[in-house]
Amino acid sequence: MQTRKLGGLDVSALGLGCMGLSHGYGTPTATKEGVELIRAAVERGVTFFDTAEVYGPFTNESLVGEALEPVRDRVVIATKFGFRDANTQAGLDSRPKHIREVAEASLKRLRTDRIDLLYQHRVDPEVPIEEVAGTVGELIAEGKVLHFGLSEAGPDIIRRAHAEHPVTALQSEYSLWWREPEQTVMPVLEELGIGFVPFSPLGRGFLAGGVDETTTFDAKDFRANLPRFSAEARQANRALVDVIEDLARSRGATRAQIALAWLLAQKPWIAPIPGTTKLHRLDENLASLDLTLSAEDLAEIDEAVSAVPVQGARYPEKLQQFVSR
């Protein structure tokens, strides 16, 4: 397994985003099957696993804890704090007292004595980022947390947080259909030596070709509420999938592998965390590590993708308050 360095943290070049096993994409995966998938990832060399208290809520951390307890010393577990009552609808809460409460509860659900990487899930405008960074720094000094991360934070917040306590990694959406981080946060991350963990590297499944304008979403699938996944947007955005399909066919790869290989080629300090509930998709994703894209390949991909404007916002307006501060 290839590895990447996020700040001072060594992880597998591809991690596993565990959210979809319990949350966000319809009926949760049964515990037995979820544990088996996570352990299969470990067997294949994956060492980087991402979860959060809000996924479920709570059930995803418990699943990850059960799956990884026998191999705890071989893996890196990342989790998050930042929402009131572990509910994204209840608003933000990064008060120091709440950070500590969440960390203690997460440690128990994860069946561990330390959290390798603790992210602020979303920036809380009511709590100075210096207080947040200082509190996580205290947890690090106590040995309960090893590294501090941010999620969906903008350049100013990253700089202020890093000045208070070193930030190991930023987690934000980044893929062939969401490239804003290239202009906004990646220059700052490179300057400060902070790693980047792209979530939804396959565009929540769209770039892999499994979703089109005829797809019907489960009532519990949050994509049904995203502007980018309206039927009209899906029909327009299919042109992007077609471009990736052409590139994949010419290289004997799948669309998902092209999308992941492209991400991995951007910077050596990027470690994407694609999620899946299926073993064959896990294997497909990991095979992207064997796909090397040349400078000419990357230039061709950039040119082709840039010619297809993506339709639809990432989030509905009411959720925009939670991103890129």
pLDDT digits (tens, 9 = 90+) for 37-69: 999 999 999 999 999 999 999 999 999 999 999
Would you state the pLDDT for residue 317?
Answer: 75
d(CA 129, CA 119): 12
Would you state the pLDDT for residue 320?
Answer: 62
User: Is 25 part of the annotated catalytic residue set?
Assistant: no
Q: Could you give all domains of the chain from N- to C-terminal order, each with its CATH number?
A: 3-204+267-290 (3.20.20.100)
Instruction: Evaluate whether 156 touches 187 at the Cβ level (below 8 Å).
Output: no
Q: Give the mean pLDDT of the chain.
A: 95
- For 293, other C-beta atoms within 10 Å of its C-beta total 19
Would you state the pLDDT for residue 321?
Answer: 60
Q: Of 91, 189, 100, give the one whose Cα is nearest residue 136.
A: 100
Would you state the pLDDT for residue 171?
Answer: 98
Measured between alpha carbons, how far apart are the two ends of the chain, in Å?
Answer: 35
pLDDT beneath 50: ranges in the chain:
none
Would you state the pLDDT for residue 322?
Answer: 64
Catalytic: which of 55, 119, 174, 315?
Answer: 55
pTM of the model: 0.95
Residue 167: is it exposed, middle or buried by C-beta count within 10 angstroms (0-12/13-18/19+)? buried
For the record, the structure tokens of 151 come out as: 């999620």
Q: What is the DSSP letter of 29?
A: P
Would you state the pLDDT for residue 105?
Answer: 98
